[in-house]
Amino acid sequence: MHGLINRSIQCFLRETYGAAFWSQVAQAADVSPEGFETMLSYDEAITDRVIDLAARDLAKPREALLEDLGIYLATLEPLRRLLRFGGVDYVDFLHSLDDLAERAHLAVPELDLPDVHLKPLGPDRFRLVCAGRRGYRAVFAGILRAMADDYGALALIDAEEGAEAVAIELLQTRFAEGRRFDLALGGTA
């Protein structure tokens, strides 16, 4: 697993639950208290161990923790910007997800993100299929929830049981005012 992903999990746990919680999880998982180096690779078993221990210590289902991770990731401005470049509205954003792995590779060529494919099921219904390791659907469910809020859309997002997929039902594209987004950093509207 790429260190950038592990470091993101570490930052999420530390910023959300505190440095002491991260230290406790790191020690139990046999990870250095300083955590992960962003440009190194780690065995996927270490990543799974960190997630499982954190979920256990929080008495939270693994899927719920991963969904919270997805929400956290979408609030990080560099990732939010990468996601927002996908389109002017939530539907454009959804259709841009097929290219997300390629856009991420432009920034970090060795980053191995899952292939995701959006399947339209009707005018306002979609299914996002996440090909890759277990748990990506929950992370993407969190990202999709956060980005719906970011765009001001009202959507029902459901990580499908028994499949690495997320069901999306768009109820309103302009439900609320979305967060401001400018293509240029520090630009004005």
Q: Are 142 and 150 in contact, with CB atoms under 8 Å apart? A: no
Q: Give the integer Cα–Cα distance in Å for 12 and 78.
A: 15
Per residue of the chain (189 residues), give pLDDT as tens.
788 899 999 999 999 999 999 999 999 999 998 999 988 889 899 999 999 999 999 999 999 999 999 999 999 988 888 888 778 889 999 999 998 888 777 777 777 788 889 999 998 999 999 887 778 899 999 999 999 989 999 999 998 877 789 999 998 666 555 556 565 555 444
Could you tell me the pTM of the whole model? 0.88
Phi and psi at residue 170, in whole multiples of 5°?
Answer: -90, 115
Rounded-to-integer distance, Cα 132 and Cα 49, Å: 18
